Chain A
């Protein structure tokens, strides 16, 4: 009797080309990160639930995959990498001078609603620049994000900048209660144009209200910054973004930059510039990041920080498919000729030849035929010869 057990919902076996496509993206990203001085860290697949719950993670409890632990504490499969890395930077790396440049290449786990085709194992490559504040730090992370998508070979992409401070400032001018602010934030995040206008109608007298009503439409090229200024006057956030834009343009990155001032996700977590990367062919952002100055401090070491993560599989799906190598040569050898046979395999392009495990040449020929190879290469006392299949 054979047992039939499939993989759990949201997980899958990956075969051949799919593995290669993922590895290729990981290799390109991590090469760039190392080049820019980032050092790799790897954190446990399972962490205490409290790590995320007590540090104010924006990932809701029901999206975390729980696992048991002998201690009786609740553990989760790591739902994001930034929180564990902040913990590492504040504890294990306490004695190391700031700023620290850290990168990771690991999977995050998130529970998805059933049957939506999403994977709950999400490989990410990302960087964290910890202990650096100000424009130069933000610039470095943004250009690294752009170069990350470029290095992957993404055909058409852009990185969109926003600022957590902009919404906070405008919302502050309206003097709303916390619940009302959250209601408005959700409408802006969802780009719920009509409902937002209705929501703000009672505050029409306030100039901030006009800007907030347009906030979900304030996305696009650099012209957005001018529109924002005309609506709400000068704000530190927009001034800062336009400063960044000038520097990015001077460095030749302007063409990849867009803005979305209505990017108001995780407003309690992000403290400054936020950004997302979009690639043509992907149905959602493939890169996400921003400044989070308060997280590392939660673990006992004050350090401003910024970083981003790239969704490896989402990027890989937008790139041309890789075809795995085709087997051409089966290498058959008589006892005593292993070294020669191995050399033949090792000097051919990867995946185009393999050793035959068969004892007789006849079986090796049958094997070559079954696998669709063109020739059998034979090593025996007469030396080396090729037998066509």
Chain B
């Protein structure tokens, strides 16, 4: 193999799982696990370099072609969109987008315009657009659960894993908006220019995912 591929991996929760997947697929990820001060980490036994980034930046790097591949959550893909190939559902980082309301409230039982707080305004907009409902969307950067408590919003659209945080704040999920998990994405030009190299990496991941089934 002639070319070294570069991959951007989302920092945090998805990183550990990504490393686990790659190691099971035969890649030596020790430099990623022990990064030191370096920003670019070389996989010693495979032509792959990794950079770690925040989720939306993973998409930016892949779209612009400075990284050939990326691992990022479907939540970020839905919110940010963009032009790239979304080749694999990696099966980890599973959670869901849900619409949650204050316990005991009747969200749909009114003609009043509803107000929704979310970290994901695009996902929220698309969801209610499909329903043909006009809603006011308020973007919140931090803990979205606070918005209904403070009476800023009637409901929230947010990532739900166990539902414990919602419950503790008197909120109940009433509807699923989308299922979320980590995805492997590929730059459109890289896919064509480094076909064999990328196909090999995809095949290794696919093989491991198949074993896990």
Give the B-binding residues of A (Cβ under 8 A).
116-117, 156, 158, 160, 190-195, 219-220, 258, 260, 278, 280, 282-285
Contacts and interface: CB of A to CB of B under 8 A. Distances in A.
Interface string B179-211: 000000011111111010000001000100000
B146 interface: no
Contacts of B206: 193
A280 B193 contact: yes
Interface in B150-203: 186-193, 195, 202
A194 B89 contact: yes
28 contacts: A117-B64, A156-B193, A158-B192, A190-B86, A191-B85, A191-B87, A191-B191, A192-B85, A192-B86, A192-B87, A193-B202, A193-B206, A194-B87, A194-B88, A195-B86, A195-B89, A219-B191, A219-B192, A258-B192, A260-B192, A278-B189, A278-B193, A280-B193, A282-B65, A283-B65, A283-B188, A283-B189, A285-B189
B65 A284 contact: yes
Contacts of A258: 192
B145 interface: no
Given A117-B64, A193-B88, A283 B187 contact: yes
B152 to A, nearest CB: 25
Interface string B63-104: 111100000000000000001011111000000000000000
B188 to A, nearest CB: 6
A284 B85 contact: no
A10 to B, nearest CB: 15
Contacts of B192: 158, 160, 219, 258, 260, 278
Contact of B195 (A116, A156, A220): A220
A364 to B, nearest CB: 47
Contacts of A192: 85-87
Contacts of A278: 189, 192-193
A116 B60 contact: yes
Interface of B: 60, 63-66, 83, 85-89, 186-193, 195, 202, 206
Contacts of A285: 188-189
Nearest to A158: B192
B188 A284 contact: yes
Given A116-B60, A283-B66, A283-B187, A190 B89 contact: no
Contact of B85 (A117, A190, A220, A280): A190
B60 A219 contact: no
Contacts of A190: 85-86
Contacts of B88: 193-194
Nearest to B199: A217
Contacts of A160: 192
A116 B82 CA distance: 10
Contacts of A194: 87-89
A156 B193 CA distance: 9
Contacts of B188: 283-285
Contacts of A158: 192
Contacts of A260: 192
Nearest to B196: A220
Nearest to B89: A194
B130 to A, nearest CB: 13
B87 A193 contact: yes
Given A191-B86, A194-B87, A282-B189, 5 more contacts: A190-B86, A191-B85, A191-B186, A219-B192, A220-B195
A283 B86 contact: no
B5 to A, nearest CB: 14
Nearest to B202: A193
Nearest to B209: A194
A116 B65 CA distance: 13
A322 B131 CA distance: 54
Contacts of B186: 191
A285 B65 CA distance: 11
Q: Which 3 A-B pairs have the closest CB atoms?
A: A283-B65, A191-B85, A194-B89
Q: Among A116, A158, A260, A284, which residue has the most Cβ atoms of chain B within 10 A?
A: A284
